[in-house]
Amino acid sequence: MDQILKNLDVAQSQFEKQLESSKTSAQIEDCRVSFLGKKGRISAIMASLKDLSPDGRKEIGARSNEIKTLMEARLLEKQQFFEREELNQKLLSDRLDSSAPGVYFPAGSRHPLKQVLNEAISILEHAGLKPTYGPEVEFEDFCFDRLNFKPGHAARDMQATFFMKDSPAQGPTVLRTHTSPVQVRVLMAAAKAGGQLPIRIQAPGRVYRVDDDATHAPMFHQIEGLVVDTHSTMGDLKACLDFFFRQFFNQNTKIRFRPSYFPFTEPSAEVDISCVFCSGKGCRVCKTSGWLEVAGAGMVHPEVFKACGWDPEKVQGWAFGMGIERLTMLKLGVPDLRLFFENRLSFLRGNLK
Query: 97 to 136, contacts with another protein by CB under 8 A?
Result: 103-111, 113-114, 118, 127-136
Q: How far is the CB of 28 from another protein (least distance, A)?
A: 41
From 40-48, 49-57, 213-221, 330-338, give the range in contact with another protein by CB under 8 A: 213-221
Kindly identify the residues of this chain, within the stretch 157-186, that bind another protein according to CB under 8 A: 157-158, 162-168, 170, 173, 175, 185-186
Q: Which residue, 41 or 200, has its beta carbon nearer to another protein?
A: 200
Please give the Cα distance from 304 to 264 (Å, whole number): 6
Q: How far is the CB of 90 from another protein (least distance, A)?
A: 24
Q: Output the CA torsion sign for 248, 253, 256, 260.
A: negative
Q: How far is the CB of 78 from another protein (least distance, A)?
A: 41
Q: Which residue, 6 or 338, has its beta carbon nearer to another protein?
A: 338
Q: Which of 208, 264, 310, 320 binds another protein (CB under 8 A)?
A: 208
Would you count residue 58 as binding another protein (CB under 8 A)? Answer: no
Residues 6+ apart with CB under 8 A from 29: none
Q: Which of 32, 146, 178, 238 binds another protein (CB under 8 A)?
A: 238
Residue 80 CB neighbours (<10 A): 10
Would you count residue 219 as binding another protein (CB under 8 A)? Answer: yes
Would you count residue 323 as binding another protein (CB under 8 A)? Answer: no
* Residue count, binding to another protein (CB under 8 A): 97
DSSP letters, 215-241, are TB-SEEEEEEEEEEESS--HHHHHHHH
Kindly identify the residues of this chain, within the stretch 283-322, that bind another protein according to CB under 8 A: 287, 299, 301-303, 316
Would you count residue 277 as binding another protein (CB under 8 A)? Answer: no
Please give the Cα distance from 87 to 80 (Å, whole number): 10
Buried b (16+ CB within 10 A) or exposed e, 241-256: beebbbbbbeeebebe
Residue type, 101: P
Q: Which residue, 5 or 337, has its beta carbon nearer to another protein?
A: 337
Q: Which of 6, 58, 153, 281 binds another protein (CB under 8 A)?
A: 153
Q: Which of 47, 91, 92, 193 binds another protein (CB under 8 A)?
A: 193
Residue type, 270: E
> Would you put residue 148 in left (φ > 0), alpha (ψ -120 to 50) or beta?
left
Q: Which of 30, 212, 311, 336 binds another protein (CB under 8 A)?
A: 212
Q: How far is CA 80 from CA 14, 19, 28, 74, 86, in A?
A: 21, 13, 11, 10, 10
**What 3-state DSSP class applies to 158?**
helix
Residue 4 CB neighbours (<10 A): 19
Q: Which residue, 93 or 170, has its beta carbon nearer to another protein?
A: 170
